[in-house]
Structure 1
Amino acid sequence: IHYGMIPRTNRGIFCINELPDLAERIQVGLLNIMEERDVQIRGYKIRLPLDVYVVASANPEDYTNRGRIITPLKDRVGSEIRTHYPRTVEHEIQIMESESNHFITEGLEIIFPQFMKEIIAEITQLARRSNDISQRSGVSVRVSISNFENVLSSASRRALRLKERNVAPRISDLSAIFASTSGKIELDTVGDIKEERVVQKLINAAVLSVFGDYFENREFEQLVAGFERGLSVHVGDDMPSMEYVNQLSKVGGLSKAIDKLNGRGSPASIASSIEFILEGLHLNRRLNKDEVRGKIRYRR
């Protein structure tokens, strides 16, 4: 006699994923098991005692329309544990680092700046508070994980194309998250606002927030003064790292800021730090930015 999957787990733990997906008639079959803690074999006048611990997972009822947990079954649940999204950037970073896929990068040394991790995590944190995004649908940590992977993939592709040994994601690599974020968020706005515009708004806000955690605007008076004298700096996602290093000697006031970001390790990390600083100053309205054919120029 086959007693069924749950009775065969006697003296064990039986886990059910996505409980609402079970048809209601099947959920009814759990009532006796969870209340009387025994099972009756159809066609036989015998009841077998069960010692089984049932654990089930489910999304909130308003999250999907795929099903529901019947009320009598809810009444038999001993305890309900509600989980939540990571509440801090630090926890978000820990999860995306541990759950992301690690690429096979033979011959490449990956340097993922801490400020870039914080920006990616902050994008998701801001999305969970955004009025443009439906909070009923939620913004899962999968957004952070996918964005982390896409940004690293973009940086790795550049290093392979330019034959560079070091890989360090830059601000210009954040364009890769449009593909990984779209489809994972549901807009909650009236009008013709597009996902790309919402994602760009989140990117700008995240960069501005993280920049404010590291610097104050008054630290860059010397740098801004150089731009007021006609200095301009070009950046781009396909620009070799050494070109950033060469520009560094021409731009006064950058060295201390790069040291503050621990960006002296390699040309790739210097390039990443420079882009972060310039974009932060632009978002603080200290510099102007022109974008033509994929190239970006910062000026006053």
Structure 2
Amino acid sequence: MSERPTTLGELRASGWVSRSVKDELRQNAIERIKAGEPLFDSVLGYEDTVLPQLENAILAGHDVIFLGERGQAKTRMIRSLTDLLDEWMPIVAGSEINDDPYGPVSKPARDLVAEMGDATPISWVHRDERYGEKLATPDTSIADLIGEVDPIKIAEGRHLSNEETIHFGLVPRTNRGIFAINELPDLAERIQVGLLNVLEERDVQIRGFKLRLPLDVLLFASANPDDYTNRGRLITPLKDRFGSQIRTHYPLTVATEVTIALQEARDLAVPGLEVRLPAYMTEIVAEFSQLARRNPHINQRSGVSVRLTVANLETLQANAMRRALQHGETIVVPRVSDLDALAASTIGKVEIETIEEGREGLVVEQILKAAVLGVFREHIAVENLREVVDSFDGDRLVNAGEDVSSADYVALLADIPALAPHITALTGGDTTPEVVASAVEFVLEGLHLSKRLNKDAVGARAQYRGRG
């Protein structure tokens, strides 16, 4: 901080040039593009869809509204825009609204510059402090966003017409920065009008007092598509304020969903326990979310967030960890039998619509079965398992479940030799008992869902048997 100019005179001598926040983002974006650097590297799955549109909006200097269901990284993208701001920005020292030293807006800053000239003290604001956001709710007020008359300042003897009596809201305090409003249509119409005035007309009316306030703000907003297009939820002039409207989406592929989930999920490893996640198990969790987004029993207006995938992946690992601890195992590997635990982390995150009450668990179970079958078919051709199926002719029964140890599954390979090569292919040759156990359960469940084996519930266990 000591190397930066501390007075207005020093700032002028340094050659610092004032520019609008939109020009600042635009120029910094141009420099990154020239250098071949990505503008956004923390958001996955949007490389060919959303991000090019967002980059165009930045280069065009547009205010932007994101339309999309919950859990589509809208807020994360907006917050990441601060990386395109200059790291430090000079303001008139003590300014509440980040006054530009070359063109102060607030009366205290104007008076200070007029009085002290080149000796005006300068302070520096980090780019992280130039971002503000508000979740719009029906009770959001003008005072929250724009400001309100401060009764304490009135009590000190200042007149209502004195602009120094105003306690500024979030938008003015984000002057020369980025301001985001989440769920914009939830703002009351009169608040939308007030927001439009400060952003478009550049004036504020507070308790009948009109204040000219030429703010420099880049506005971002997010909204649910149904709310945004519903006539009357958003006033037309405010809609026109946005130069770009960008539609977000959920991950288009299972692979992308898996990558995001692994990136976002909490690391559950603890000393003495090693967590291993077979690829097919993470794919099942991701496929479950993908199928839920197309399921007629799931309310698609409320969406199926990627947060569901993350929560389910964490629950899957947690259940496997609990099972491993009970068996005295030190390697945690999720199995198909652990998928039953996902109901608890699913039902609260989606809106399940059924005719009969209490059937939410059945809907989750059906989607899980479809996910397991889909992933099974991706990994194994069921026709190649004919010898395994033939091994179940007669009275052979195979138990599976939480109370079956990994050693029991390993012993099964000696009992059914035809199973061994398929398990080796799934595990990549890993002979760790816990890894083998997971693969065995996956194959058995896949055969059942492919209608090659029968499955019976016996207490807490599942029993697989031939269909003869």
Same fold (TM over 0.5): yes
Q: Which residue of 2 aligns with 1:295?
A: 461
Q: Does 1:155 align with 2:294?
A: no
Q: Does the 8 Å contact 1:3/1:41 carry over to 2?
A: no
Q: Post-superposition shift, 1:3?
A: 3.7
- Measured after TM superposition, the shift of residue 29 of structure 1 is 1.2
Bigger shift: residues 15-24 or 264-273: 15-24
Aligned to 2:435: 269
Deviation, structure 1 residue 45 = 6.0
Distance in 1 of aligned mates of 2:353 and 2:375: 26
CA–CA distance in structure 2, aligned partners of residues 185 and 170 of structure 1: 24
Contact 2:198–2:204 at 8 Å: present in 1 too?
no
CA separation of 1:258/1:47 partners in 2, compared to 1, >3 Å: closer, same or farther? same
SS of alignment partner, residue 170 of structure 2: coil
SS of residue in 2 equivalent to 1:227: coil
Larger mean Cα displacement after TM superposition, 19-28 or 158-167:
19-28
Normalising by structure 1, report the TM-score: 0.91
Match of 1:211 in 2: 376
Q: Could you say which structure has the larger radius of gyration?
A: 2
The one-letter code matched in structure 2 to 1:277 is V
SS in 2 for 1:253: helix
- Residues 25 and 199 of structure 1: CA distance in aligned 2, closer, same or farther (over 3 Å): same
Summarize the Cα distance change of 1:59–1:83 in structure 2 as closer, same or farther, 3 Å threshold: same
CA deviation profile, 1:144-195 (whole Å, cap 9, x unmatched): 1111111110000011111101000000000001111113222344455711
Counterpart position of 1:165: 330
1:39 aligns with one of 203, 210, 214 = 203
Which portions of structure 1, spanning 4 or more consecutive aligned residues, are displaced by more than 6 angstroms?
none
For residue 123 of structure 1, the aligned residue among 284, 288, 298 is 288
Q: Distance in 2 between matches of 1:170 and 1:46?
A: 65
Corresponding residue to 1:103 among 252, 257, 268:
268
* Per-residue Cα deviation, 1:53-83 (whole angstroms, up to 9, x for no partner): 01112223359x9x94333322222211111
Aligned partners of 2:412 and 2:260: how far apart in 1? 36
Superposed CA offset, 1:247-295 (max 9, x none): 2111121111112212543111100000000000011111111111111
Letter in 2 for 1:69: L
- 2:279 aligned with 1:114: yes
Q: What is the aligned counterpart of 2:391 among 194, 207, 226?
A: 226
Aligned counterpart, 2:419: 254
3-state SS in 2 of match to 1:249? helix
Whole-angstrom distance in 1 between the partners of 2:445 and 2:340: 14
Whether contact under 8 Å (1:112, 1:169) holds in the other structure is: yes
Q: Is the 8 A contact 2:185 2:227 kept in 1?
A: no
Give the Cα–Cα distance (whole angstroms) in 2 for the partners of residues 197 and 46 of structure 1. 60
The Cα of 1:91 is off from its aligned counterpart by: 1.2
Which shifted more, 156-165 or 189-198? 189-198
Which consecutive unaligned segments of at least 5 residues does structure 2 have? 1-163
In structure 1, C-alpha distance between the alignment counterparts of 2:422 and 2:353, rounded to whole Å = 39
Partner of 2:253: 88
Q: 1:50 aligns with which of 183, 203, 215?
A: 215
Cα separation, 1, equivalents of 2:331 and 2:317: 12
| Amino acid aligned to 1:138 | G
Distance 2:283 2:386 in 1: 25
Please state whether the residue corresponding to 1:228 is helix, strand or coil: coil
Letter in 2 for 1:288: N
Q: 2:242 aligns with which of 77, 85, 88?
A: 77
Task: Measure the CA separation in 1 of the matches of 2:321 and 2:169.
Answer: 50
Q: Distance in 2 between matches of 1:53 and 1:62?
A: 23
Structure 1 position 40, deviation (Å): 3.6
For residues 25 and 104 of structure 1, do their structure 2 counterparts lie closer, same or farther at Cα, with a shift above 3 Å needed? farther
| Aligned partners of 2:292 and 2:298 also within 8 Å | yes
Report % sequence identity. Answer: 52
- Per the alignment, do residues 264 and 233 of structure 1 end up closer, same or farther by CA in structure 2, a change over 3 Å counting? farther
Give the direction of change, closer, same or farther, for the CA distance of 1:173–1:75 in structure 2 (3 Å limit): same
Which of 21, 28, 50 is the matching residue for 2:186?
21
CA contact (8 A) 1:264 1:270 kept: no
Aligned CA distance change for structure 1 residues 46 and 282 (closer, same or farther; 3 Å)? closer
* Structure 2: distance between partners of 1:41 and 1:62: 28
CA contact (8 A) 2:400 2:462 kept: yes
User: Offset at 1:210?
Assistant: 0.7
Selected match of 1:5 from 170, 188, 195: 170
Q: What displacement does 1:90 show?
A: 0.9
2:447 maps to 1:281: yes
2:367 equivalent among 173, 178, 202: 202
Q: Distance in 1 between matches of 2:308 and 2:366?
A: 16
CA gap 1:33/1:169 in 2 versus in 1, 3 angstroms: same
Using the alignment, how far apart are the partners of 1:297 and 1:45 within structure 2?
A: 77
Q: Distance in 1 between matches of 2:204 and 2:199?
A: 13
Tell me the amino acid that sits aligned with residue 98 of structure 1: Q
What is the aligned-residue RMSD (CA, Å)?
Answer: 2.2
Alignment of 1:59-78 (within 5 A): 59-62=224-227, 68-78=233-243
Unmatched segments (≥5 aa) in structure 1: none
